[in-house]
Amino acid sequence: MAGSTRCSRLCGYGVQTRQVWCKNETSCDIKDEEDCDILTKPTAIKSCIIEKCRDWKTSPWNQCSSTCGYAVQKRPVTCPDKHQCDPDQRPTDLQNCKVPACLAWIQGQWSK
C-alpha cells in the first residue's frame, strides 16, 4: 500500500517520493509509525534522472528602455524543446542598463 510520485524534474536529476505506512499484518489496520520497527522502515525518497536537460537559447539583448536615468533591457530566452530545459538554470531575460543620469545645464542671463 504505497503511492509513489513521478520524478520531481522533467529532465535531469530529481527525486521520487512514496508514502510508507505501518500496517498490522493480521488485521491490515494502519497503525502509528512508532508501533513499527523504525530500523526496518522502507525508504520514502530516492533519486531519479530523466533524460539530460536541453540548453536554453538566448537572443541578443534589446536596446535599453531609456537613454538616461533608470533603464532596463530585455532579451528572449527560450527552450528549444518545451519542458526539457532546467528551470533553475534559465538565463536572465532582464537586466539594468548603465546610462547617465538625466542632467542638463541651466543657464541664467548675462549680467548687465
CA angle 104, 109, 111 (to 5 degrees): 135
The answer to whether the CB of 9 falls within 8 A of the CB of 17 is no
CA distance 46 to 40: 16
Please give the backbone phi and psi of residue 15, each rounded to the nearest 5 degrees, phi first.
-130, 155
Rounded to whole angstroms, the Cα distance separating 78 from 93 reads 10
pLDDT digits (tens, 9 = 90+) for 42-98: 999 999 988 888 999 999 999 999 999 999 999 999 998 877 898 889 999 999 999
How far is the C-alpha of 38 from the C-alpha of 19, rounded, in Å?
15
Contacts of 33 by beta carbon, 8 Å cutoff, 6+ apart: 22, 41
Phi, psi at 14, each rounded to 5°: -150, -160
Which helix (H) or strand (E) element contains residue 74? strand 72-74
Ranges in the chain annotated CATH 2.20.100:
53-101
> How confident is residue 13, by pLDDT bands cut at 50, 70 and 90?
confident
For domain 53-101, say whether CATH 3.60.40 is its number: no
Q: Band of the pLDDT at 1, cuts 50, 70, 90?
A: very low
The whole-model pTM stands at 0.57
Residue 3 has pLDDT above 80, yes or no: no
